[in-house]
Amino acid sequence: MTVMPTLEGGLRIDADDEGDWELLRSIISDANCCQTDLASRLGGLMTDEAVSEDWEELIVPDLREEFQDQLAEIGASIEAAIFNADNGPGPIWITPDDAYPWYSSLNQARLALEEIHHFGPEDTADPLNMDPNQQLAFIRSGFYSDIQSLLLRHVMK
Amino acid sequence: MANPKTLTRSKESTELDVPWNVIVHDDPVNLVRYVIFVLMKIFGYNERKSTVMTMQVHRQGRSIVWSGEREKAEFYVQQLQAHQLKSTMEKSQ
């Protein structure tokens, strides 16, 4: 897989094969892999009695819908690109308008993987002491992080 | 029979609202550059101020990024959480 900036201010991801497309699909499945969704986890931080009840009732459902909408948008883009490439080599573009939903979806995936595996800061994590499932998750998280860095550097300026 | 008269005395008191702090907490996922970007976007801070606050989050585990009235604090925390930053609000001590 190759990821590169475009002249239009976005990113282009070139998938080489079916495995690359599966890796991109895993953004969505990883983002949804926690029992407790991200909106509820963030809402759970609001422990002050004066605000916690209203937060759970009014804010969390809105956040949940927003996060799911972003995942649905990116999931649909990935599936359309896979269809166009007939599951073989092919590109997917991230335009400047798509950058934030992409960043958000990648972040949701990384936050969910962290919630499950507790990798900690990337520079202190030790993949050699992880089980194979954790190692794969750690590698995916690093891949998502690399795309996020490219988005921040080249698109979300 | 004499009309009963009721005397009404009103008393006004004004109490200063305690400000609320909006706090961003450290986490191992959100990239430093992204946190700076979000603080600039939500609060309109310049890059230098956003960077100082972000490094405070990174080094000290949390940073008070805004203080003021409750409704605005709620709005800002909602915005920060919509950007997936661990954020809370608490009454100023």
- Which residues of chain A neighbour B34 with C-beta distances below 8 Å? 103, 107, 148, 152
Give the residue on B whose Cα is nearest the Cα of A120.
B28
Contacts of A123 (CB under 8 A, 6+ apart): none
Model confidence at A132: pLDDT above 70 = yes
Q: Do B31 and A48 touch (CB under 8 A)?
A: no
Model confidence at B1: pLDDT above 80 = no
> Mean pLDDT across the stretch A17-43?
97
pTM here? Answer: 0.91
Model confidence at A5: pLDDT above 80 = yes
Write down the pLDDT at residue B19.
95
- Which residues of chain B neighbour A61 with C-beta distances below 8 Å? none
Model confidence at A109: pLDDT above 90 = yes
Judged by a CB distance cut-off of 8 A, whether residue B92 touches chain A is no
Between A122 and B27, residue with greater pLDDT: B27
Min distance B15 CA to chain A CA atoms (Å): 18
Min distance B68 CA to chain A CA atoms (Å): 15
| Mean pLDDT of chain B, nearest integer | 91
Write down the pLDDT at residue B12.
67
How would residue B4 be classed by pLDDT, with cut points 50, 70 and 90? low
Residues of A with CB under 8 A from a CB of B: 38-39, 42-43, 45-48, 50-51, 59, 62-63, 66, 103-104, 107-108, 110-111, 114, 119-122, 145, 148-149, 152-153, 156
| Mean pLDDT of chain A, nearest integer | 96
Which of the residues A38, A106, A152, A153 would you substitute to probe the B interface, choosing the one with the greatest number of B C-beta atoms within 10 Å?
A: A152
Q: How many A/B residue pairs have CB atoms within 8 Å?
A: 59
Min distance B32 CA to chain A CA atoms (Å): 10
Write down the pLDDT at residue A124.
87
- Which residues of chain B neighbour A39 with C-beta distances below 8 Å? 81
Min distance B10 CA to chain A CA atoms (Å): 29
How would residue A123 be classed by pLDDT, with cut points 50, 70 and 90? confident
Which of B33, B88, B91 is closest, CB to CB, to A45? B88
Model confidence at B17: pLDDT above 80 = no
- Which residues of chain B neighbour A59 with C-beta distances below 8 Å? 78, 81
* Digit-coded pLDDT (tens) for B57-82: 999 999 999 999 999 999 999 999 99
Write down the pLDDT at residue A50.
83
* Digit-coded pLDDT (tens) for A90-105: 999 999 999 999 999 9
Write down the pLDDT at residue B69.
96
Between B4 and A12, residue with greater pLDDT: A12
Q: What is the DSSP letter of B27?
A: -
Judged by a CB distance cut-off of 8 A, whether residue B89 touches chain A is yes
What interface predicted TM-score (ipTM) does this complex get?
A: 0.94
Task: Annotate chain A with three-state secondary structure.
Answer: CEEEECCCCCEEEEECCHHHHHHHHHHHHHHCCCCCCHHHHHHCCCCCHHHHHHHHHHHHHHHHHHHHHHHHHHHHHHHHHHHHCCCCCEEEEECHHHHHHHHHHHHHHHHHHHHHHCCCCCCCCCHHHCCHHHHHHHHHHHHHHHHHHHHHHHHCC
